[in-house]
Every structure is written in structure tokens, then in C-alpha cells.
């Protein structure tokens, strides 16, 4: 993607992570991987996972605490030391989006607002590609998750520019609606339509 801008360029972009920089949902893949490894039915794994995952998303629980509850509730015979690498290994990168990220001009400030989890957010920060993001906002560190107004207020503060100058990219319509309500320019994303997305983002950045 090539975008020509002058030094007066004032438009920027912020992204969600799951479903945007990943293909499919991280939650769905991680619960399937736990079921496959442990032999526990995936329906039982997911029932426990989704009952409690909000505790991770708002930083109320550590990942080991979350896993202890899941182990006991779903009867999963897997120690935490096996679970953590399996969990982190469930990330499936959306390579075209990382290519788009790398191609964004230096003048464009790039943000991140993600409903995320302890350990996973630390893992992502260690990824050299994440150096392109300007002050990423993770729900587990903020204590609020999308689509709350608090999360978008935190994103605007992190970006350091008015929301009207920032496009927000997410794969969930509810989050796009909340971004628009907060003054951002929402762009709904699906990985099967990446080429169309790049054209839409390029148009936005050109103004």
C-alpha cells in the first residue's frame, strides 16, 4: 500500500488486535487446542473459558488464576506450565495486515486498542513488529474493555490527537459503533477482504 502525504498530514489509524492481526478468533483457537491436547470435550472447555474470560480482559485475574479455575471447573488434566505455551501458540498471524502495518508511512501515528489478557499482552509487546504502535492500550491493563467509552477515551489519550483524526479498525460491528460514537472514523475489517480494506484505509489517510 502506497500513500503519499505531505508533512502536514494529520490523519492517523488505530487497530484492534484479535481478528485483525490474527486470522479468526484467538479464543476459539486456544480453547480448541486445549481440548485437543487434554481430551476434554471442547464444549466443556469453552463453557468454562467464556464464563470467566472477562476476569482476564479487565485484569482482575492473572493467567495462572484463570487456569486454576478452568482446571477445576472443567476437569482439565493439564498443568499451567503446559497451558501457557499452548495458549501463546494459539496466535495465528494475519500476515497481510502485518505487511500493511509495515508499509504505513512514518508520518502516520499508529495506535492499538485490544481486549487482551495478562501474559498475552506482554508476549505481544516483545514482538519487534509492535514497535510500530504508539502506546498500545490493552484492556487487561486499563481495567475496561471495548466497547466501553472508557476504552476509547484511553485510546484517544494514548494517540495524543483528536479522535476525528483517527480511523479505528476492528472486526466487530459493536466496537465500530462505539468508536464512531466516540468520534473516531470506524472501519470494519474482515481478513477475506483485505485488499478492499487497504484501499479504504489509503483513501482515509489521503484525506
Q: What is the 3-state secondary structure (H, E, C) of the chain?
A: CCCCCCCCCCCEEEECCCCCCECCCHHHHHHHHHHHHHCCCHHHHHHHHHHHHHHHHCCCCCHHHHHHHHHHHHCCCCCHHHHHHHHHCCCCECHHHHHHHHHCCCCCCEEEEECCCCCHHHHHHCCHHHHHCCCCEEHHHHCCCCCCHHHHHHHHHHHCCCHHHEEEEECCHHHHHHHHHCCCEEEECCHHHHHHHHHHHHHHHHC
Residue 2 has pLDDT above 70, yes or no: no
Q: Write the CATH number for 153.
A: 3.40.50.1000
Residue 3: its pLDDT value, please?
Answer: 47
Q: Are residues 60 and 101 in the same domain?
A: no
Mean pLDDT of the chain: 94
Q: Are residues 84 and 181 in the same domain?
A: no
Q: Are residues 116 and 79 in the same domain?
A: no
**pLDDT above 90 as % of the chain:** 94
Domain that holds residue 169: 12-24+92-206
Amino acid at each position: 500500500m502506497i500513500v503519499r502525504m505531505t508533512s502536514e498530514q494529520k490523519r492517523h489509524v488505530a487497530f484492534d488486535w484479535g481478528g485483525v492481526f490474527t486470522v479468526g478468533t484467538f479464543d476459539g483457537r486456544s480453547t480448541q487446542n486445549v481440548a485437543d491436547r487434554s481430551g476434554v470435550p471442547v464444549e466443556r472447555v469453552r463453557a468454562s473459558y467464556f464464563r470467566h474470560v472477562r476476569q482476564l480482559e479487565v485484569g482482575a485475574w492473572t493467567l495462572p488464576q484463570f487456569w486454576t479455575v478452568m482446571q477445576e471447573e472443567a476437569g482439565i488434566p493439564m498443568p499451567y506450565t503446559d497451558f501457557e505455551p499452548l495458549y501463546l501458540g494459539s496466535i495465528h498471524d494475519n500476515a497481510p495486515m502485518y505487511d500493511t502495518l509495515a508499509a504505513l508511512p512514518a508520518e502516520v501515528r499508529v495506535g492499538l486498542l485490544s481486549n487482551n489478557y495478562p501474559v498475552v499482552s506482554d508476549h505481544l509487546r516483545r514482538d519487534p513488529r509492535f514497535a510500530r504502535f504508539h502506546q498500545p492500550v490493552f484492556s487487561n491493563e486499563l481495567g475496561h474493555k471495548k466497547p466501553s467509552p472508557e476504552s476509547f477515551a484511553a485510546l484517544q489519550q494514548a494517540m495524543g490527537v483528536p479522535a476525528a483524526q483517527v480511523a479505528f479498525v476492528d472486526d466487530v460491528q459493536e466496537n465500530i459503533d462505539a468508536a464512531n460514537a466516540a468520534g473516531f472514523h470506524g472501519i470494519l475489517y474482515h481478513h477475506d477482504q483485505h485488499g478492499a480494506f487497504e484501499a479504504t484505509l489509503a483513501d482515509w489517510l489521503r484525506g
